[in-house]
Amino acid sequence: MFFFKQVHRDVKPENVMIFDADFHKVKLIDFGMTRKCGSYVRRLIGSIPYSPPEVCDAVNNDILVSTAMDVWAFGVLLFCSITGNQTKKFLFEFEE
C-alpha cells in the first residue's frame, strides 16, 4: 500500500486475517477508509484506540493523511498482541 501512496487508516485486529497457525500468510482487509497520502480527511476516522495522537488531538476537521497513521496503528496492534493488553484498558491506565 505504501508503494501506491495509500493509507489504510483502520489497522486493528478485526482487519487482520491469519490463514495458518505459523503466520506465513497474513492479510490486511477492509479498505473502506483508505485514502491517498497527502489528502485531507475529517477528524472522526477509524478506531480511536488505534488512532495516532495527532488525530485524537486534532482541533479542526482537516487532518493530513500520512503513512505515519498506519505505522502508529500497527505499533499499537503489535503492542497489544505481544503483551496481551487491550488498547482501551491500556489507554485508560495511561491517562490516569
What's the confidence (pLDDT) of residue 8? 93
What's the confidence (pLDDT) of residue 96? 47
Q: What grid cell was written down for 53? A: 495522537
Instruction: Give the predicted TM-score (pTM) of the model.
Output: 0.78
The pLDDT profile of the chain, 96 residues, written as one tens digit per residue, is: 667 899 999 999 899 999 988 889 999 999 999 999 999 887 665 567 888 888 877 777 788 899 999 999 999 999 888 888 776 655 555 444
Q: How many domains does the chain have?
A: 1
DSSP letters of 14-36? GGEEE-STT-SSEEE---TT-EE
Question: Active-site residues: which are they?
Answer: 10
- Taking CA atoms, 27 is separated from 16, 53, 54, 91, in Å, by 6, 26, 27, 27
Domain with 53 in it: what CATH number? 1.10.510.10
Domain span at 73: 2-95
pLDDT digits (tens, 9 = 90+) for 50-74: 888 888 777 777 888 999 999 999 9
